[in-house]
């Protein structure tokens, strides 16, 4: 039977079309604009899911996206709130937390043993015997949690957006709208956020209207009639958008669907409204018990009657309006119970005229029914602890609760606001508003529509004035508000009275916890997990405070409130992650590498070819013929100015003042503790121009390090530019390198004209290049730097020119072997955060006799005292065994674990195809390192293997080949 009503004045569904969707295997029809919950309510489906702990049937309660009662699984997405999720054609919706089915859930049997499952039972029950914990864990993990994660769920696109405004208004109800319009009128740039799809707040479904509100609606529409994507509008409205939290300096985070907003505001107007609160009575979680505002939403926005026979429980005017609305919609109202002894408003007369029984001074003791509401037991106030002869059972299928409100003050708390309990209103009210924050509307206790509009206008004007637009509003006194919240929110009872719908915490649970000593509100929260579920305390915090106060015989003020923390609503991890953004740097030759079999490896942000299929053949090509490697990733710095030699003298450990134009020199850069930071070569390419290469990984850090010194007093006569990206760089290495180079230029590149450690600006294949003769690989080699845009052309041209000489591209792996054969270090691999050049056996690059340089003092001390460890080469006794890099070097010591003492470690190791043996570099105590041939032991896969110390390069120790 359909519960759909005739078209309503303000409904948001489109009855001209229909959509079909599935819920729990059944097909249902809905209208565009329906939510999953409204469509199911129209189809007379009461139960949407099962509760977390006791698997009790749960149906719609708030219809506003606040409570956990309607969490469902939509396709692969779990914990979707059915009351706010628009229904879509073909959607597959399943209830959560049910086994085997929604209507017959065997897990509901847990309720039979509920006395063994009080709050906090998991802290006490499963800790002994300890060996059974894996068994407990297995079952608990299966029983806990909501929904089903499907690992094969396709990726969704998430993103983030940064927004800026003078004034951010949070809440699109009457006060928020009024604030936004007022702030815009004063010239401020305003962002308005509301979690509902349309502006209006409660006026959308309560149908209250005023001339002033109509004007503001019109102004809002005019101010924001530019589409949201029009960047320069004064007012941007963001609906279906929830502000998740407030951080220092009005830094807000918001979420809209799959987008995270990061918002910076100069001033914030909090007009977040209030949450309607449930009442604590027996069986207060049965499907068919709805908050009054939920009833109105269903009636007016979706044209759905939530029941046929209703009982309304109220403590305010809103409840009477709900009753009148139900009557107007054709729902039979069987009783209205008001805790007050009498009341005057326009609806009371309507209800009385319709001959609806009215119970003044009454409330509800219990709801009856198993899977849904069958009746309501009304009882007079004060409520007797046990059933009374005055109790009246009214058969019904709907209980509407309009008994209390609590301000939506979470963001205000986060912003540093304070609230105090007002006995007269039976609600918390702000009593301290921090600077840059303004408050208006229900969150401030202002429920009256005209007053809320006025207060909103004042807040908007004041916020705009705070940001420098216009003048603040003069203070005015608003009319006093009648009390809207009950002081009788806890009704004595015998059955389950649910305080926390998220975690199935009952009033009795809380009383037990308090009796156990968890009597402070913060402790109670942590112990019971109340307010820590999907509702984040929206429907339970206020009632918890009341109950805690009563149990402790304290006042509400003495009891206090819990801390409000972000996020205000559950947020998907995908939203927090946003779009995948992992920067990758490509050299100008990247595509060629990929197309020619390069196996790419990650090196910092860069992708580099590790090899092209056969690294041994690549090593042999360099040793025997010629090879070409892409070293565009090298850091490249350009120094200009007369002050450069002095600067280089200060930042490098060797001397630079006398380096002649056209010469290249290797240098080690240390920090002021003498620790090696980086190394590289510097070429003097002009009288006042120097070109430096640093390690690929050090490009940015060295640039920033040197910049720091330049800006700290060493910048006189020096300009520094990072030109890493501007030049592609290749190393042409091997005995045939000169022959290949010569085919590309008419310049004389003979050993006499272009000797080792010299630099030349040459034109190669019509491309302007800077060529340095270096020897990292131990062969005759030229490092060719050219403008990056010519990189691919020159690379291909060199390979073509080298074809006749057997040229072969080589990758990082071959380069590592080649440099290891020469015992050249790699900073960061062979050195660490404690390595100095003396210990690294590079004392030849430290000139202590120059004026002053970074690390001079510690290096002088180390030179004088001698290092404790040294970096040396080693060969293996069994030349076929290659120890892994990082392995420990040990010696026997009965006092150490395993009887072995760690005395060093391997930093580099490879099998050398040139020498046909394993070689490496390692750190050893000086006593072992000093004498070549000294044996030592490496612990490898639990076994001990023998190696011996080697001094100097393994290959071409005299350096004949690279100088040739």
Partner 1 sequence: MMNEPGKLTPIFTLAQKSGARFELRDGWQIAAAFAPSAIEQAAAQQHVALADCSANGKLIVEGTQVEKVIQALGELPELAIGQGAAASPHHIFRLRQDQFFISTPIGEEGAVQEQLHAAAAPLVSLITFTPITHGRAELWLVGPQAAELLSRLCGLDFHDQQFPNLSARQSSVAKTRQLILRRDLGQLPAYALIGGRSLAAYLWETIMVCGRDLPIQPIGFSTIEKLLNL
Which residues make up the interface to partner 1 (CB under 8 A)? 157, 159-164, 189, 229-232, 262, 264, 579, 581-588, 591, 605-606, 632, 638, 640-642, 688, 717, 719, 721, 723-727, 765-767, 787-794, 796-797, 800
For partner 1, the closer CB: 153 or 789: 789
For partner 1, the closer CB: 183 or 403: 183
- Helix, strand, or coil here: 113? helix
Helix (H) or strand (E) holding 602: strand 599-603
Least distance CB 178 / partner 1 (angstroms) = 24
For partner 1, the closer CB: 448 or 585: 585
Least distance CB 682 / partner 1 (angstroms) = 17
For partner 1, the closer CB: 209 or 591: 591
- The secondary structure of 847-905 as a DSSP string is -TTSS--TTHHHHHHHHHH--SEEEEEEEESSTT--PPTTPEEEEE-TTSGGGEEEEEE
For partner 1, the closer CB: 123 or 231: 231
Q: How large is the angle between the packed helices 644-651 and 699-709, nearest 10 degrees?
A: 110
Token pair 């920033």 in the structure block, residue = 704
Strand partners, 600: 609
DSSP 652: B
For partner 1, the closer CB: 107 or 603: 603
Least distance CB 271 / partner 1 (angstroms) = 23
Q: Beta-carbon neighbour count of residue 7 at 10 Å?
A: 9
Strand partners, 364: 378
For partner 1, the closer CB: 35 or 724: 724
DSSP 53: T
Integer Cα distance of 876 and 886 in angstroms: 16
What residues contact residue 211 under an 8 Å CB cut-off, 6+ apart? none
Integer Cα distance of 208 and 200 in angstroms: 10
Integer Cα distance of 549 and 540 in angstroms: 14
As to burial, measured by CB atoms within 10 angstroms (0-12 exposed, 13-18 middle, 19+ buried), residue 682 is buried
Integer Cα distance of 79 and 680 in angstroms: 56
Q: In terms of C-beta distances under 8 Å and separation of at least 24 residues, what long-range contacts does 409-412 make, across chains too?
A: 409/272, 409/443, 409/564, 410/272, 410/536, 410/537, 410/564, 410/568, 411/170, 411/243, 411/245, 411/246, 411/270, 411/272, 411/564, 411/568, 412/270, 412/272, 412/437, 412/439, 412/443
Integer Cα distance of 56 and 248 in angstroms: 41
For partner 1, the closer CB: 388 or 721: 721
Least distance CB 687 / partner 1 (angstroms) = 12
Least distance CB 77 / partner 1 (angstroms) = 19
For partner 1, the closer CB: 101 or 796: 796
Least distance CB 791 / partner 1 (angstroms) = 8
Phi, psi of 151 (to 5 degrees): -60, -25
Helix (H) or strand (E) holding 936: strand 935-940
Least distance CB 734 / partner 1 (angstroms) = 21
Least distance CB 252 / partner 1 (angstroms) = 13
Integer Cα distance of 331 and 290 in angstroms: 15
Least distance CB 469 / partner 1 (angstroms) = 12
Least distance CB 259 / partner 1 (angstroms) = 8
Tokens of 397: 């299928």
For partner 1, the closer CB: 148 or 716: 716
For partner 1, the closer CB: 118 or 604: 604
Least distance CB 247 / partner 1 (angstroms) = 14
For partner 1, the closer CB: 605 or 845: 605
Integer Cα distance of 412 and 193 in angstroms: 15
Least distance CB 724 / partner 1 (angstroms) = 7
Least distance CB 579 / partner 1 (angstroms) = 6
For partner 1, the closer CB: 60 or 807: 807
For partner 1, the closer CB: 103 or 161: 161
Q: CA distances (Å), 243 to each of 256, 444, 495, in order?
A: 9, 18, 37
For partner 1, the closer CB: 595 or 916: 595
The number of residues making up the chain comes to 964
For partner 1, the closer CB: 337 or 699: 699
Least distance CB 640 / partner 1 (angstroms) = 5
For the chain, the distance separating the N- and C-terminal CA atoms, rounded to the nearest angstrom, is: 97
Contact 60, 67 (CB under 8 A): no
∠ CA 412-418-424, nearest 5°, is 110
Q: Provide the b/e sequence for 718-734 (b: ≥16 CB within 10 Å).
A: bebebbbeebbbbbbbb
Tokens of 820: 């290891």
Least distance CB 574 / partner 1 (angstroms) = 15
For partner 1, the closer CB: 585 or 863: 585
Q: CA distances (Å), 796 to each of 433, 596, 630, 765, 831, in order?
A: 69, 12, 11, 11, 35
Contact 60, 37 (CB under 8 A): yes
What residues contact residue 131 under an 8 Å CB cut-off, 6+ apart? none
Least distance CB 186 / partner 1 (angstroms) = 15
Cα radius of gyration rounded to whole Å, the chain: 39
Least distance CB 802 / partner 1 (angstroms) = 13
Tokens of 314: 């109220």
For partner 1, the closer CB: 638 or 824: 638
Least distance CB 435 / partner 1 (angstroms) = 22
The C-alpha torsion from 666 through 670 and 675 to 678, rounded to 10°, is -50
- The secondary structure of 822-855 as a DSSP string is TT---TTTT--TT--TTTTT-GGG--TTSS--TT
């Amino acid at each position: 039977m359909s519960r759909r009503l005739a078209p309503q004045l303000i409904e948001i569904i489109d009855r001209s079309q229909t959509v079909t969707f599935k819920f729990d295997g059944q097909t249902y029809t809905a209208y565009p604009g329906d939510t999953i919950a409204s469509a199911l309510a129209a189809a007379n489906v009461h139960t949407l899911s099962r509760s977390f702990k006791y698997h009790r049937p749960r149906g719609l309660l708030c219809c506003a996206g606040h409570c956990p009662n309607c969490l469902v699984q939509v396709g692969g997405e779990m914990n979707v709130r059915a009351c706010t999720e628009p229904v879509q054609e073909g959607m597959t919706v399943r209830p959560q937390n049910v086994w085997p089915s929604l209507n017959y859930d065997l897990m509901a049997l847990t309720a039979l043993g509920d006395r063994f499952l009080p709050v906090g039972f998991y802290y006490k029950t499963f800790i002994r015997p300890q060996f059974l914990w894996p068994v407990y864990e297995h079952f608990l993990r299966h029983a806990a949690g909501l929904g089903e994660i499907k690992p094969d769920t396709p990726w969704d696109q998430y993103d983030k957006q940064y927004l800026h405004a003078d004034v951010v208004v949070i809440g699109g109800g009457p006060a928020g709208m009024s604030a936004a319009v007022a702030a815009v009128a004063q010239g401020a740039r305003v962002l308005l956020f509301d979690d509902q799809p349309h502006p209006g707040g409660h006026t959308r479904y309560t149908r209250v209207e005023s001339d002033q509100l109509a004007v503001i609606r019109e102004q809002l529409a005019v101010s924001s009639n530019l589409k949201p994507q029009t960047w320069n509008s004064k007012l941007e409205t963001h609906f279906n958008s929830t502000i998740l939290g407030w951080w220092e300096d009005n830094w807000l985070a918001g979420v809209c669907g799959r987008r995270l907003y990061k918002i910076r505001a100069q001033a914030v107007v909090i007009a977040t409204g209030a949450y309607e609160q449930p009442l604590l009575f027996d069986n207060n979680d049965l499907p068919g018990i709805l908050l009054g505002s939920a009833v109105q939403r269903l009636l007016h926005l979706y044209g759905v009657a939530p029941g046929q026979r209703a009982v309304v429980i109220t403590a305010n005017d809103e409840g009477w309006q709900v009753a009148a609305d139900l009557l107007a919609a054709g729902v039979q109202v069987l009783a209205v119970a008001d805790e007050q002894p009498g009341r005057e408003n326009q609806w009371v007369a309507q209800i009385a005229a319709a001959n609806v029984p009215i119970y003044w001074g009454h409330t509800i003791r219990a709801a009856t029914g198993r899977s849904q509401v069958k009746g309501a037991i009304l009882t007079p106030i004060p409520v007797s602890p046990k059933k009374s002869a005055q109790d009246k059972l009214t058969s019904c299928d709907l209980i509407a609760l309009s008994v209390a409100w609590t301000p939506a003050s979470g963001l205000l708390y986060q912003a540093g606001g304070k609230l105090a309990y007002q006995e007269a209103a039976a609600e918390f009210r702000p009593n301290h508003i921090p600077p840059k924050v303004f408050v208006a509307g229900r969150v401030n206790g202002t429920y009256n529509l005209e007053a809320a509009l006025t207060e909103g206008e004042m807040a908007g004007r004041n916020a705009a004035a705070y940001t420098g637009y216009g003048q603040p509003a003069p203070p005015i006194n608003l009319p006093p508000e009648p009390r809207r919240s009950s002081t009788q929110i806890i009704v004595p009872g015998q059955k389950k009275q649910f305080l926390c719908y998220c975690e199935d915490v009952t009033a009795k649970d809380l009383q037990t916890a308090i009796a156990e000593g968890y009597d402070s509100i913060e402790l109670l929260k942590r112990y019971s997990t109340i307010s820590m579920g999907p509702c984040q305390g929206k429907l339970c915090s206020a009632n918890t405070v009341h109950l805690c106060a009563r149990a402790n015989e304290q006042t509400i003020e003495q009891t206090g409130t819990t801390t409000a923390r972000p996020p205000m609503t559950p947020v998907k991890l995908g939203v927090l992650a946003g779009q995948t953004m992992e920067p990758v740097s490509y050299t100008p030759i990247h595509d060629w590498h990929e197309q020619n079999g390069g196996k790419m490896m990650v090196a910092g942000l860069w992708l580099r070819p590790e090899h092209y299929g056969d690294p041994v053949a690549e090593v042999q090509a360099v040793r025997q013929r010629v090879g070409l490697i892409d070293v565009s990733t090298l850091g490249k710095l350009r120094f200009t100015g007369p002050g450069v030699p002095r600067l280089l003298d200060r930042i490098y450990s060797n001397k630079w003042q006398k380096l002649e134009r056209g010469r290249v020199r290797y240098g080690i850069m240390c920090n002021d503790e003498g620790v090696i930071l980086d190394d590289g070569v510097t070429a003097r390419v002009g009288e006042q121009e120097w070109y430096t290469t640093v390690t690929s990984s050090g490009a940015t850090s060295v640039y920033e390090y040197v910049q720091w010194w330049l800006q700290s007093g060493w910048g006189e006569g020096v300009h520094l530019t990072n030109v890493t990206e501007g030049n592609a760089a290749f190393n042409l290495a091997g005995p045939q390198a000169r022959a290949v180079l010569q085919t590309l230029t008419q310049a004389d590149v003979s050993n006499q004209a272009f000797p080792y450690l010299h630099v030349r600006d040459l034109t190669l294949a019509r491309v302007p290049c800077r060529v340095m003769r270096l020897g990292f690989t131990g062969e005759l080699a030229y490092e060719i730097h050219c403008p990056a845009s010519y990189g691919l052309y020159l690379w291909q041209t060199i390979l073509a020119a080298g074809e006749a000489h057997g040229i072969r591209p080589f990758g990082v792996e071959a380069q590592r072997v080649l440099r290891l054969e020469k015992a050249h270090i790699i900073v960061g691999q062979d050195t660490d955060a404690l390595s100095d050049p003396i210990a690294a056996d590079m004392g030849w690059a430290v000139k202590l006799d120059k004026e002053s340089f970074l690390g001079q003092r510690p290096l002088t001390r180390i030179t004088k005292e001698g290092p404790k460890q040294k970096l040396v080469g080693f060969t293996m006794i069994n030349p076929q065994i290659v120890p892994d890099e990082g392995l420990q070097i040990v010696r026997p010591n009965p006092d150490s674990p395993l009887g072995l003492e760690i005395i060093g470690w391997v930093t580099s190791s490879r099998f050398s195809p040139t020498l046909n043996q394993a070689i490496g570099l390692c750190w050893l105590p000086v006593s072992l390192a000093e004498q070549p041939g000294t044996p030592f032991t490496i612990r490898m896969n639990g076994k001990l293997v023998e190696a011996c110390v080697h001094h100097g390069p393994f290959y071409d120790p005299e350096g004949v080949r690279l100088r040739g």
